[in-house]
A and B are shown apart, each in its own frame.
Chain A
Amino acid sequence: MSKRDELEADVIIVGSGPGGGSLAWGLCTMGVRVLLLEAGPAFVPSRDYPQTASDWERHEFPHPKGSRGRYTFAPLQALDGSLRKELGSWNAGQGPLNRSGYRSGWRYHHVRGVGGSTLHFIGEAHRLHPRAFRIRTEHGIGADWPIDYQALEPWYAKAEALIGVAGEEEPSRPRSSPFPMPAHAPGYAAQRLRNASSLNWHPNSLAVLSRPFQGRPACNYCSACNRGCPRTDKGSTDVTFIRQALASGRLTLMPQTEAVSLVAGPSDRVAALIASTGKNKYKRIQGRFYVIACGAVETPRLLLLSANNHAPRGLANESGQVGRNFMETIFWKSTGLHPHSLGSHRGLPADLVCWDFNAPDAIPNVIGGCRFTHSTAEGGFNGPIAHATRALAGWGARHRRQLQKEFGHLLSIGAIGESLPHPDSRITLDPKRKDAFGRPLARIHSHLDKMAIERLRFMARKSREILQEVGAEELREEYGSYDFFSSTHVFGTARMGLDPETSVVNADGRSHRWTNLYISDASVFPSSGGGESPSLTIAALGLRMARHIADRLMRRE
């Protein structure tokens, strides 16, 4: 490798999602030179996801080459047939969606690109329930966080202010300052839901602008956040943290640059990082600190792939915990037909949230909570194709007349629940399948235990009850984690903790052994929370880590 193939920076961050992006912003604003590597491309919102075409609904978030990582699934568990009727995925248009006797690995939903998976998120910006931080102490299950809600609260507030989060104060999550943006008013369908339901519904706290902010316009309620926001009112990491970090002049952003391995050196320090910038083009990059922020599937993979004689079990894997404690998105969605036209294809994808069952012990006889949202557009029912294909049986003239009559009548309730660690849920290296560099792909192992199934049953039952209360009892589609692995939120594979025997990083996100190696993504979460979306917590941890690393740089450590 020649001299020109070498690069240097104070801090090298791998991955530009909310963990990498917030950290880069924090460091750059404190005068630190940062090199941010991103395996995927940079997107131009107005060009790449305009949402103006007649056939917009045919296109999910655009995935050009290299914008999705490859991975495999280990065989998933056999299905308990007695639960098929209660928890099996189905819809009116296609019938049962999993006809096999096994859980099916559908997708780990993510984006490789500048901004990471916030590019296709719906903007949910949740704080974790304070009691989620001490689930082991309170319930003897899972793991405690080494920090508490109070320690993270100022960083939550800072992240919300930087992104421009809109929300409404909610008693279970104490705040030191009000939301920076007023909450979005619920849509017409959500109003009908809130008026009819016996549960407590709040405007969802969202990284979606309710007022213009820093040159970005307010939302125009088009409903298609998860296909990419062309207006940039959605606060994805590329248009918030990274845009501002670039403006500081201290950030060097390298899209389409894939970290191949970290080089563990002597004295418990990482010596360098090897990255690929194209076919047979490699760079050796050196910094004082190295931060991995690739998400709970790719981060453990990179650590395991970086094994050498200094780190024979994989980097930072002295405890054998790298890849363990994998937690997924335990989800359920029920969709019913309302007798009246609600225009439910309009508005925010998940405008109302119910936290009534979010605390770790809020579900009767189950540990680990859940939350519910009004999620008609989030589930894709914001256009005629989804309605015609999934929510209506048949075809022909009658089918079309029926669609015309009931378009905008669908109402969906979505639920996401706590996912707890299980020995059979983990990330390993695939023994056979390899990537373009000849490195093993990440292999996802997932197992739902009895408690997870019971939580899922509660989520399904409650979703149906809510639909019934609002008058949308004619079910048209239901699907969930019972027979599909389908996860956007993934956690836990490089757990944060006080004990080096049972965790990978300490309370600052630093490897217990490798003194210049940090992790800044949801891999470090000891627990998933009761259905909260993780991106705000990841960003808050990233900002907190920036302060910590900047202090160490100041002390010349």
Chain B
Amino acid sequence: MKRRTLLLLAPASAAIAAGFWRLKDLLWQPNTPDAVLLTAFLDTLFPADGEWPAASALDMEKELERSFAHRPHQAKKVARLLEVLDRHSRQMTNLGFAHHSLEERERLIETLLEEKGDLAMSFVGLRALAFQIYYSHPTVWSSLPDYHPPQPLGYPDYQQPPAHV
């Protein structure tokens, strides 16, 4: 092949390579959620508020990651959800989801779920799992009225109005 031909083909090759790169970017599916994105997402579901700790203060993302080790299918779904959320954020604001304020992150989640109804089930699943972990933490449930794990105390006062009333 002559040098001239090569020079002519170079831009085309570059364009094809760029196309492939872009396609790969669109089609690539992470197997596990990005840790920074996950933390930002959880802190949006559970922000610090008075006596309530933020999710990150309880290392919730680490527990979720441990849980994903046994549930690869769910990990993939959550990874996809967060990836789409981050892309949505960049499209809307030119900034990744994790770089926004709490209010903006809340708004981004809401608008994404409005626009892409097919993600709703993934969101419902992640929400349920996140609630399971957050409300299992003693720091969290101890701020609920008259509540503790069922045993060993039970509720011998069950016939009375709740103590806090």
Contacts and interface: CB of A to CB of B under 8 A. Distances in A.
A56 B153 CA distance: 14
A52 interface: yes
B45 to A, nearest CB: 5
Contacts of B153: 220, 222
A408 interface: yes
| Main DSSP-derived SS at the A contact region | loop
A389 B128 contact: yes
Interface stretch (A186-194, A423-431, A541-549): A186-194
Contacts of B165: 340-341
Interface string B39-58: 00000111101001000000
Interface string B12-26: 000000000000000
Given A340-B165, A384-B147, A54 B157 contact: no
Contacts of A443: none
A58 B150 contact: no
Contacts of A397: 47, 49, 52
Given A227-B150, A401-B49, 8 more contacts: A56-B150, A222-B150, A230-B151, A343-B160, A346-B158, A400-B46, A408-B145, A408-B146
Contacts of B132: 55, 57-58, 385, 389
A345 B153 CA distance: 14
A185 B158 CA distance: 9
Contact of A341 (B52, B145, B159): B145
Contact of B158 (A343, A385, A404): A343
A188 B162 contact: yes
B149 A56 contact: yes
Given A220-B155, A396-B45, A407 B147 contact: yes
A220 B154 CA distance: 5
14 contacts: A51-B150, A56-B150, A188-B159, A220-B151, A222-B155, A223-B150, A341-B162, A382-B150, A389-B132, A396-B106, A397-B49, A403-B144, A407-B144, A407-B145
B8 interface: no
Given A52-B149, A222-B155, A388 B131 contact: yes
A52 B152 contact: yes
A377 B147 CA distance: 13
A408 B152 CA distance: 20
B66 interface: no
A408 B144 CA distance: 9
B145 A389 contact: no
B136 interface: yes
A354 B152 CA distance: 31
| Main DSSP-derived SS at the B contact region | loop
B8 to A, nearest CB: 56
A395 interface: yes
B141 interface: yes
Interface residues of A, number: 49
A106 interface: no
A397 B47 CA distance: 6
Contacts of B155: 220-223, 343, 346-347
Given A53-B149, A385-B135, A188 B161 contact: yes
Given A55-B136, A396-B47, A408 B162 contact: yes
Contacts of B146: 343, 345-346, 408
A345 B147 contact: yes
Interface in B107-141: 124, 127-128, 131-132, 135-138, 140-141
Contacts of B161: 188, 341-343
A94 interface: yes
A231 interface: yes
Nearest to A227: B150
A503 B149 CA distance: 48
Given A51-B149, A57-B136, A385-B131, A222 B159 contact: no
A50 interface: yes
Interface string A77-96: 00000000000000001110
Interface string A203-228: 00000000000000001111110010
A57 B135 contact: yes
Contacts of B154: 219-222
B11 interface: no
A395 B135 contact: no
A220 B141 CA distance: 21
Contacts of B157: 346
Nearest to A46: B151
Nearest to B130: A395
A208 to B, nearest CB: 12
B94 interface: no
Interface in B2-36: none
A58 B155 CA distance: 20
B152 A54 contact: no
A224 B159 contact: no
A342 B47 CA distance: 28
Nearest to B146: A343
B135 A388 contact: yes
B110 to A, nearest CB: 10
Contacts of A187: 158-159
A188 B151 contact: no
Given A54-B136, A220-B153, A382-B150, A188 B143 contact: no
B158 A188 contact: yes
B150 A384 contact: no
A324 to B, nearest CB: 38
Contacts of B71: none
Contacts of B151: 50-52, 220, 222, 224, 230-231
A406 to B, nearest CB: 10
B70 interface: no
A341 B131 CA distance: 22
A343 B162 CA distance: 5
Nearest to B163: A343
Contacts of B150: 51-52, 56, 222-224, 227, 382
B158 A221 contact: yes
- A-B pairs with lowest CB-CB distance, top 4: A220-B154, A222-B150, A343-B162, A55-B136
From B147, B154, B165, name the one whose CB has the most chain A CB atoms within 10 angstroms. Answer: B154
A388 B133 CA distance: 12
Nearest to B46: A400
Interface in A376-402: 382-385, 388-389, 395-397, 400-401
